[in-house]
């Protein structure tokens, strides 16, 4: 790891100033579970590391009935997984938080860091001068691509690894960003970018901007949610494909639905076809299967990742039917 100067500002304003306007020079540190590995592999070589954890007020989890959930960006994954209100009301968030990482990493990793973690692509993370690092080639196209994206890719084919982002998108959350002067809020569905929008960054954050809070609307009556993460091994891995579903039913009829997928695209993927077609449906195995089978029409196989298309459809089916029953 290259050495750097280390700063621990006490205010957001100071932190933003220290982060400055050059991504390559100055970098934000929260839990460090992703950043340290990027620095060890010299994917990131900042000259200044700005520790955010001395900033007060960013580590709280607050819930107000009728208003919803306010999550500080420095709340840890373990705190979210253990929070009784989240466990009772926001199952999708609870289940996603439980699946992220081991107790050690859950105690260290933060919500903000999870949302802003860099892509899992073995070419990006290792010594390949790939597109995302300013090179000319995406090595995944002709290389090993069993974990790469099936939709939304091109010219770079990363997947976004965050479980929290997929769950929060199903809950229609909003992300508050401090820009050095003031806060602004964007829906999480607009927080992430595809490679065709920006080849080098995965989010709308500009240099010096910091995610401060996540707002999740209150849970309505008849609302159920859940998360399922398919991994290549039994425990602690990034999602091969994950699915987050929120359904609100009245009687037997679905009134509201949001179905999002992880592990298939360069950003958490809202599948509008499925979400829209579930509305006003009295779900059964046949009609839910038909809707899911018609989804992901623009998905394509890079050579080794085509299995993800069927897997994603089946996981959506499974989770929708589980929540609908």
Partner 1 sequence: MKFSTIKFELNGKPVEIEVPPAMRLLDILRETFKLTGTKEGCGIGECGACTVLLNGQAVASCLLLAGQLEGTKITTIEGLVHDERMNLLQRNFLECGAVQCGFCTPGMLLSAYALLQKDARPTTDDIKNAIAGNLCRCTGYKQIIQAIQKSTESLSDPDQ
Q: For residue 157, what are the contacts with CB-CB under 8 A and spacing of at least 6? A: 121, 138, 140, 141, 145, 148, 149, 195, 266, 302
Quick one: which of 4, 63, 124, 238 contacts partner 1 (CB under 8 A)? 4
Stretch touching partner 1 by CB under 8 A, among 45-53, 87-95, 137-145, 157-165: 45-53
77 binds partner 1 (CB under 8 A): no
Q: Which of 32/306 has CB closer to partner 1?
A: 32
Strand partners, 110: 76
* Residue length of the chain: 325
The residues in 203-262 that bind partner 1, with binding defined as CB under 8 A, are 235-236
> Do the Cβ atoms of 204 and 186 come closer than 8 Å?
yes
Q: Which of 103/217 has CB closer to partner 1?
A: 103
d(CA 320, CA 325): 9
Q: Which of 200/236 has CB closer to partner 1?
A: 236
Q: Which of 17/51 has CB closer to partner 1?
A: 51
130 binds partner 1 (CB under 8 A): no
Stretch touching partner 1 by CB under 8 A, among 20-28, 47-55, 137-145, 247-255: 47-55
Measured over the CA atoms of residue 312, residue 156, residue 4 and residue 52, the dihedral's sign is: negative
105 binds partner 1 (CB under 8 A): yes
d(CA 36, CA 317): 37
Minimum distance between the CB of residue 120 and partner 1, rounded to whole angstroms?
A: 13
6 binds partner 1 (CB under 8 A): yes
Stretch touching partner 1 by CB under 8 A, among 95-103, 129-137, 201-209, 212-220: 95-103
What are the strands, taking DSSP E only, across the chain?
Answer: 5-7, 26-29, 48-51, 61-64, 68-72, 174-178, 183-187, 210-216, 223-230, 241-250, 253-262, 269-270
CA nearest 260: which of 156, 321, 189, 195? 189
CA nearest 49: which of 110, 119, 85, 2? 2
Measured over the CA atoms of residue 192, residue 195, residue 197 and residue 200, the dihedral's sign is: positive
Minimum distance between the CB of residue 311 and partner 1, rounded to whole angstroms?
A: 24
Quick one: which of 19, 49, 243, 316 contacts partner 1 (CB under 8 A)? 49
Stretch touching partner 1 by CB under 8 A, among 25-33, 153-161, 260-268, 316-324: 25-33
CA nearest 92: which of 3, 164, 187, 198? 164
Minimum distance between the CB of residue 274 and partner 1, rounded to whole angstroms?
A: 32
Quick one: which of 36, 43, 141, 186 contacts partner 1 (CB under 8 A)? 36
d(CA 175, CA 111): 11
Q: Which of 38/93 has CB closer to partner 1?
A: 38
d(CA 256, CA 275): 8
Stretch touching partner 1 by CB under 8 A, among 100-108, 217-225, 247-255, 273-281: 100-108
Interface residues with partner 1 (CB under 8 A) are: 1-6, 8, 29, 32-33, 36-37, 39-40, 49, 51, 53, 78, 101-105, 107-108, 235-236
């Amino acid at each position: 790891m290259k050495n750097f100067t280390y700063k621990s500002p006490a205010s957001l304003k100071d932190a933003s100033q220290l982060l400055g306007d050059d991504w390559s020079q100055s970098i934000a540190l929260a839990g460090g579970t992703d950043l340290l590995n990027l620095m060890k592999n010299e994917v990131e070589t900042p000259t200044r590391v700005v520790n955010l954890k001395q900033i007060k007020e960013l580590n709280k989890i607050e819930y107000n009935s009728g208003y919803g959930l306010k999550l500080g960006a420095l709340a840890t994954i373990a705190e979210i997984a253990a929070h009784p209100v989240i466990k009772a009301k926001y199952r999708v968030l609870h289940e996603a938080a439980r699946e992220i990482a081991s107790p050690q990493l859950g105690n260290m990793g933060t919500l903000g860091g999870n949302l802003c973690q860099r892509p899992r692509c073995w070419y990006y993370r290792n010594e390949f001068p790939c597109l995302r690092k300013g090179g000319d080639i995406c090595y995944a196209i002709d290389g090993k691509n069993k974990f790469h994206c099936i939709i939304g890719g091109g010219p770079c084919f990363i997947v976004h690894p965050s479980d929290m982002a997929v769950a929060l998108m199903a809950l229609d959350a909003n992300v508050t960003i401090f820009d050095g002067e003031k806060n602004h809020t964007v829906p999480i569905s607009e927080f992430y970018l595809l490679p065709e929008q920006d080849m080098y960054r995965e989010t709308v954050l500009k240099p010096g901007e910091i995610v401060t809070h996540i707002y999740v609307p209150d849970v309505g009556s008849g609302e159920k949610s859940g998360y399922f993460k398919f991994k290549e091994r039994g425990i602690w891995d990034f999602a091969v494909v994950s699915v987050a579903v929120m359904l609100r039913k009245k009687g037997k009829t679905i009134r509201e639905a949001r179905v999002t997928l992880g592990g298939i695209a360069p950003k958490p993927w809202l599948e509008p076809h499925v979400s829209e077609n579930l509305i006003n449906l009295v779900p059964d195995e046949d009609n839910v299967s038909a809707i899911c089978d018609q989804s992901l029409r623009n998905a394509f196989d890079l050579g080794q990742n085509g299995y993800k298309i069927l897997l994603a459809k089946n996981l959506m089916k499974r989770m929708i039917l589980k929540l609908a029953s």
